[in-house]
Structure 1
Amino acid sequence: MPFCRHELPTDTETIAAAPVESTTAAAAAVQNGSENIGLTIWRLSGSGFAVGSFLGPEGELGSESFRWCIRKWMVGLTMALRQNASWSPPPSTSLKINFDGAVFRESDEAGLGVVVRDHQGRVMASMSEKTRLPSSLDDVEAMAVVRAISFALELHLPSVIVEGDSELIISALRSEEESFTSFGHLISFIKQSFGSFSCISFSHTRRSSNSLAHNLAQYARHVDALTVWMEDIPPQLHHVLVTDFG
């Protein structure tokens, strides 16, 4: 079967490319003929930026310039909010599978959470699984992505984007080299399944963009072993689904 894989841009890379690092407002001005152009950049809480501009002859701010400033500021704010939005949908030709792991040290157990959504944010399937606690958190994340891939195979999904918030796991899956970590055998198992998909890619995201999978992993403490919901999630997590799509 044809196989494709490509690296998607990460939220971390997007944030790193932002022009401002200070958490306070910054202003810059350049001289353009007889007009002064001002630019103000606000750092939003968490991440993302809002941009406002003003224009006026010799620095004077007229009413039309003020309206222009507000329009530019709103455009910048909208872009910043979109950048800071939680979950981002896949293309219409693919499904996105988010995964995450959770640790329950009090019971020496771990939780695995997986959710499959389409380009409109609709849940195709979700699952929570409770299992024995492995030796490290990275191993928990590796077990979660194995469960995500197995879930996709069981559902016969042809084209998927697999997304998680563990940069170490996503990097290992993208790498052409063999992994010699404690979870290396799990990475090898996943790579052997690549041929079962017409297209599979891996995306690293922030925890805030992975909240539904995270909550499904946490919800695993309330299930006996493995619980699957088709076209749904646990009722207790419906509010997470609503807010997760930004």
Structure 2
Amino acid sequence: MSRASGLAINLHKSRVVFSRATPEAVAEDITAILVVDRCARHELYLGVPTAVGRSRHQCFTYIMDRVWERIRDGGGRGGLRWKSWRSLCESKAAGGHGWRPPAHGSIKINFDGAVRSGPPMVGAGVIARDSSGGCLDWRSEVWCHMDNPLVSEALAARLAIEMAVTNGWTSVVVEGDCATVIHHLATLTVPFSLDRPIIRDALALARSIPTIEFVFARRSCNRVAHAIASASFLGPRSLPDSVLDLIQMDLANE
């Protein structure tokens, strides 16, 4: 075979396949002569599974049509919104993403949780800002012998609501980047999971606030709370310079 093709054949990686019309005795003789393994069928042909067949274009056109249909209209859900990286990094006034201040007279509290593996502990970071973006209050706290990310987010959310109750704020927006916790708080549902008692306590505290709203935000909108949560394991008594810089960046990008 090498002489006919002009190529060196690696017999250790080669397999031989016979059609159904080939007598078994002939197949065994050829296999013994070639000294290669025998397999029932090819798994791949030209890099494509044999189940695809000869017409790859015909097989994959259906998938392409479904993908483009999803991109265009999203099955009635508004479709996908494409954004370039440059537009995402622009200021919010120019259409970019980032933290937005609350309406006048309202307080926005961002929360986030953090987890440290050894020794296991979780931390929470919370910051409250007014409509001008100024920091009204912040808190961080650590709980030992825990390592569940969802529990850390639930504890951070409860800490945010406790802050609002302690300060006597009557119009509050609680914002976080954990969709699960935000969903439970916004829909007043208590989950059957490790964070069940924490969510129940948070909802009980929220009833004492006249106007409270729970909003999901991307990580880019929640980076200050994330930084406070990450620094909570160090036990800061004041906001680290890195957090102050992030607050100023949020103000500059409004």
Report the TM-score when normalising by structure 1.
0.64
Which of the numbers 100, 106, 122 marks the counterpart of 1:110? 122
Distance 1:222 1:116, change over 3 A: same
Question: Can you give the 5+ residue segments of structure 2 that lack an aligned partner in the other structure?
Answer: 1-76
More strand by share: 1
Distance 1:221 1:47, change over 3 A: farther
Q: Give how far 1:150 is off.
A: 1.1
Q: Give how far 1:208 is off.
A: 0.8
Deviations 1:127-159 (A, max 9, x none): 122221425210110011111111111111111
Identity %: 28
Higher relative contact order (CA 8 A, sep 6+): 1
1:10-89 equivalences in 2 (<5 Å): 20-21=81-82, 43-45=83-85, 48=88, 82-89=94-101
Alignment RMSD, CA only? Answer: 2.5
1:187 is matched by which residue type in structure 2? Answer: I
Residue 155 (structure 2) pairs with residue 143 (structure 1): yes
Report the secondary structure of 2:212's partner residue.
Answer: strand
Q: Give how far 1:110 is off.
A: 1.6
Q: Which residue does 1:241 correspond to in 2?
A: 247
Distance 1:204 1:83, change over 3 A: farther
Q: Give how far 1:219 is off.
A: 0.8
State the alpha-carbon separation in 2 of the partners of residues 78 and 106 from structure 1: 39
Question: Can you give the 5+ residue segments of structure 1 that lack an aligned partner in the other structure?
Answer: 1-15, 22-42, 50-76
Q: Give how far 1:190 is off.
A: 1.5
Q: Contact between 1:133 and 1:140, CA under 8 Å: does it hold in 2? A: no
More helix by share: 2
Stretch deviating more after TM superposition (116-125 or 170-179): 170-179
1:213 is matched by which residue type in structure 2? Answer: A
Report the secondary structure of 1:111's partner residue.
Answer: strand
Q: Give how far 1:209 is off.
A: 0.5
Report the TM-score when normalising by structure 2.
0.62
How many correspondences in the alignment?
A: 176
